[in-house]
Structure 1
Amino acid sequence: MNKILSIIIPTYNSNDNLSTLVNKLLQIDNIEVIVVDDCGCQNVFDIFFENSRLKLIRLPSNSGAGIARNRGLKAATGRFTCFFDADDDVFVDELSKIVKLLDDYSFDVVFFPPISHDQTGKLSKRHMSYQRLVDDYLNKGSEEILYKYHVPWSKIYRTQFLFENQLEFEPVSASNDVMFSLKSSMAAKSINVIDKTFYSVLSHSGSLTRLDTIQRLRDRIFVAYRYNRLLKSLGKYHFRTCVTPLFFRLLKLDINVLMFTLREYKLTSNYLDFFPTFGMLYRKIIKK
């Protein structure tokens, strides 16, 4: 008998927190948990045994979270699907209550406000932009939640809706979920927003730039370019994301790669007019 909710967790060397998260999730009735190991040094088969409620998949090579999520989605049998990250946390009682209500749901996507915690367990601020999107929708009817809720977690999707619309995560090293989130919102014929919190996302310490690599920054820039281009085609360009900080971060790593990136994807004409600060930098440093 199929479960009502499939929970998909990509993981890469996160066995310590993953074990705690999965054991919490398995306290909830009528769900299946699908763990997709992205070929890390820590093998999920070392800490779990498969059963009727827990599916374990190990990819043959390290392929990224996007491909891992797609592989987990193919294995999902629940009427609804939810995505978790391996280092995050769940409020078991709240999600249990939500699962009991899913039989009465026919929405394609349901949004929930997350909360966030730091590595000591204290409340952090990472969730606040998503909380604001939920509040603005509930209090003002704002449609911004459809375009700016860039992450797949703290949402519940109707599984058949994802299959019918061939919605997949992108095979990129960073921001694999941005286009998935936007396209799923655009394809949804019915959504709901519920002011209940079952998800807590980990807020990593340190600067974002500590994780910067040339490939990750290039992927982020190209995802943002596709995201903005799709918004423009929908007449929603006012929801576009600002790419300027990514350009500056790439500039710090390698100016030649920045030049190549601009020319390769012909981003120059699209962004110089919208971001005069970067345009000035481009003309002053790169074109001289």
Structure 2
Amino acid sequence: MELVSIITPSFNSEKFIAETIQSVQNQTYHNWEMIIVDDCSTDKTVSIAEYIADNDNRIKVYKLDKNSGTGIARNTGLEKALGKYIAFLDADDLWKPNKLEIQVNFLRNNNLPFTFSFYDCINEQGTELNKRVEAPRNLSYMQLFFCNYVGNLTGIYDVNYFGKIAISSIRKRQDWMLWLTILKKVKSAQPIPESLAFYRIRENSISASKLDLLKHNFGVYRRFHGFNLAHSLLCMTGFLFTQLLIKPRYIKNTKASI
């Protein structure tokens, strides 16, 4: 049973961190380590995490010396990771109990170095929003180029195949850049076609602000891909087309389907 390293950046997450850790402890797959890297929280996030870690040696808590953003926190966790597989879980999101078991078995059985899954959305209070985010069953690099179909809380990759992939220093949308790096190498990826996690939509988050999302996505084309202004604007046109006409096909109303 291979070790899975779970990288969790945290910042002022005292309301959610215990439940997030509990969702990892509830996994049916038991060979994991959870590496929590705190980005100078000013609330009780660290004390809560350290209290739980004192009773579970699979959980390790580290603190950054200065507030540096989630990219630096994730890279710090990556440096500490010992697992064959790398997975990510932010400090306010949740995993379903069989998440790791299903994904690790899927990777083994299909001889794959990377996979992800569908996920459901919850609000800040943890109430399900009856919204499921799915993805193409054979996700190509070009599809990902115009839309990040991979939920950060669902991705898992094989270190023996890719090595440890450093997170971009760009402060936002690091997850999309990571998956683009992976898809550029493997050309396509197959998701687990079921929901294995809960993504929490918080007030004032990037995912809740369409304008901020557009701004940061434009930054990916400009700074990560290195495109000039005209090329980046053209890419954003493709991005907007995907958001308006294609991606809605992969957003499901779970209440209506019951």
| TM-score, scaled relative to structure 1 | 0.65
Equivalence for 1:203: 201
- Give distance in 1, aligned partners of 2:3 and 2:181: 24
Larger Rg: 1
How far did residue 22 of structure 1 move?
0.5
Question: Which structure has the higher relative contact order (CA within 8 Å, separation 6+)?
Answer: 2
Change (3 A) 1:158 1:213: same
1:177 is paired with a residue of what secondary structure?
Answer: helix
- Give distance in 2, aligned partners of 1:109 and 1:10: 21
- Give distance in 1, aligned partners of 2:139 and 2:152: 19
Q: After TM superposition, list the pairs within 5 Å mapping 1:239-250 onto structure 2.
A: none
Q: What is the CA RMSD across the aligned residues, in angstroms?
A: 3.5
Query: What do residues 121-141 of structure 1 show as CA deviations (whole Å, max 9, x unaligned)?
Result: 33337653xx1x23xx2xxx5
The answer for unaligned runs of 5 or more in structure 2 is: 238-258
Q: After TM superposition, list the pairs within 5 Å mapping 1:116-127 onto structure 2.
A: 116-124=121-129, 127=132
Equivalence for 1:33: 34
Residues 95 and 197 in structure 2, CA contact (< 8 A), matched pair in contact too:
yes
Q: Does 1:61 align with 2:59?
A: no
How far did residue 273 of structure 1 move?
11
- Percent of paired sites with the same residue: 24
Q: Does 1:78 align with 2:83?
A: yes
| TM-score, scaled relative to structure 2 | 0.72
Q: Which moved more, 1:111-120 or 1:266-275?
A: 266-275
Change (3 A) 1:219 1:106: same
- Give distance in 2, aligned partners of 1:205 and 1:168: 29
Residues 80 and 157 in structure 1, CA contact (< 8 A), matched pair in contact too:
yes
Equivalence for 1:224: 221
- Give distance in 1, aligned partners of 2:39 and 2:120: 26
Query: What do residues 209-235 of structure 1 show as CA deviations (whole Å, max 9, x unaligned)?
Result: 987999x986553223245667xxxxx
Residues 27 and 92 in structure 1, CA contact (< 8 A), matched pair in contact too:
yes
Identify the structure with the greater strand proportion.
Answer: 2
Q: How many residues align?
A: 228
2:194 is paired with a residue of what secondary structure?
Answer: coil
Residues 108 and 191 in structure 1, CA contact (< 8 A), matched pair in contact too:
no
Residues 202 and 208 in structure 2, CA contact (< 8 A), matched pair in contact too:
no
Q: Does 1:267 align with 2:226?
A: no
Query: What do residues 95-134 of structure 1 show as CA deviations (whole Å, max 9, x unaligned)?
Result: 4444566655641111211111112333337653xx1x23
